[in-house]
C-alpha cells in the first residue's frame, strides 16, 4: 500500500493531460488510502501550481461531498457509523454553518463528519452542495498555497494559527449564526441598492 501511495505523484505527473483527472480521482479514493485532505492539496500545489492545484482540489473535494451524500442515502450503516463518530467527537453539540466552514480549515477534523453536519443543516441536496463547494474553496486555497509551510512552521506559530481559528469558531458559535437563506439574503441586498 505504501508503494502505491508513493507512486501516485509520479503517476499523475507522467499522465499528461489525464493528470488532473487522476488527481481529482485521488481525492475520491483518499478516504480509502487514509490520507488527510491537506496531503492531497499539498500534492496539487506541487504538481499543478497554486491556481490549478486549488481548482482541481475544489473539484475533487466537491465530488467527494457529492459521493458522501449519495453513500449516506444508499447505505444506512455508513450513516450510522458517521453519526456514532459525531456523538463521540462533538457529543450533542449543535454547530452553525460558519463553524463548519472554520472546522473545514483545520486539518485534523474528519471531512465526512463535517459533511454530515452540513446534511443535517440543509434542507435540499442543492443547498448542501452549495455550502459544500463554498466550504472547500478556502481550505483548498490554504492547503495548496501554504500547506507545506503550515506543516513545517514552528510549533508556536502553529499554536497561534489554530488559536485564531478556534477563536473565530467560538465567536461564530456565540453569535448563534444560523443557516441563511440565499434568496432572502440577496433579494434583501437588492432592495437596499434599489
Model confidence pLDDT, tens digit, residues 40-66: 888 888 888 888 889 999 999 999 999
Residue 83 backbone phi and psi in degrees, to 5? -65, -40
Residue 25 has pLDDT above 60, yes or no: yes
Task: Give mean pLDDT, residues 115-141.
Answer: 90
Q: Which three cell numbers stand for residue 82?
A: 458517521
Report d(CA 90, CA 122) in Å as an integer. Answer: 19
pLDDT of 157 higher than 90: no
* Residue 155 clears pLDDT 90, i.e. is over it: no
pLDDT of residue 59: 96
Handedness of CA 39, 40, 43, 44 (dihedral sign): negative
Q: Confidence band (pLDDT; 50, 70, 90) for 4?
A: low
Q: Look up residue 167 and give its three cell numbers.
A: 477563536
Residue 131 has pLDDT above 80, yes or no: yes
CA 75 to centroid of chain Cα atoms: 22
Per DSSP, the three-state class of 50 is: helix
In the chain, what percentage of residues exceed pLDDT 90?
A: 20
Q: What would the mean pLDDT of 28-42 be, rounded to a whole number?
A: 84
d(CA 140, CA 182): 23
> DSSP code of 18?
G
Amino acid at each position: 500500500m505504501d508503494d502505491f501511495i508513493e507512486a501516485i505523484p509520479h503517476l499523475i505527473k507522467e499522465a499528461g493531460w489525464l493528470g488532473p483527472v487522476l488527481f481529482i480521482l485521488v481525492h475520491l479514493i483518499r478516504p480509502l488510502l487514509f490520507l488527510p485532505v491537506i496531503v492531497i492539496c499539498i500534492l496539487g500545489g506541487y504538481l499543478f501550481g497554486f491556481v490549478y492545484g486549488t481548482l482541481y482540489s475544489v473539484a475533487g473535494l466537491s465530488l467527494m461531498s457529492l459521493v458522501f451524500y449519495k453513500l449516506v442515502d444508499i447505505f444506512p450503516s455508513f450513516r450510522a457509523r458517521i453519526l456514532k463518530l459525531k456523538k463521540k467527537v462533538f457529543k450533542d453539540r449543535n454547530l452553525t454553518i460558519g463553524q463548519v466552514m472554520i472546522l473545514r480549515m483545520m486539518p485534523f477534523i474528519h471531512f465526512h463528519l463535517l459533511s454530515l453536519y452540513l446534511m443535517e443543516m440543509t434542507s435540499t441536496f442543492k443547498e448542501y452542495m452549495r455550502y459544500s463547494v463554498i466550504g472547500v474553496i478556502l481550505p483548498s486555497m490554504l492547503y495548496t498555497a501554504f500547506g507545506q509551510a503550515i506543516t513545517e512552521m514552528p510549533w508556536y506559530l502553529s499554536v497561534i494559527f489554530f488559536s485564531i481559528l478556534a477563536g473565530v469558531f467560538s465567536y461564530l458559535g456565540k453569535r448563534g449564526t444560523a443557516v441563511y437563506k440565499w434568496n432572502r439574503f440577496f433579494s434583501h441586498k437588492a432592495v437596499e441598492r434599489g
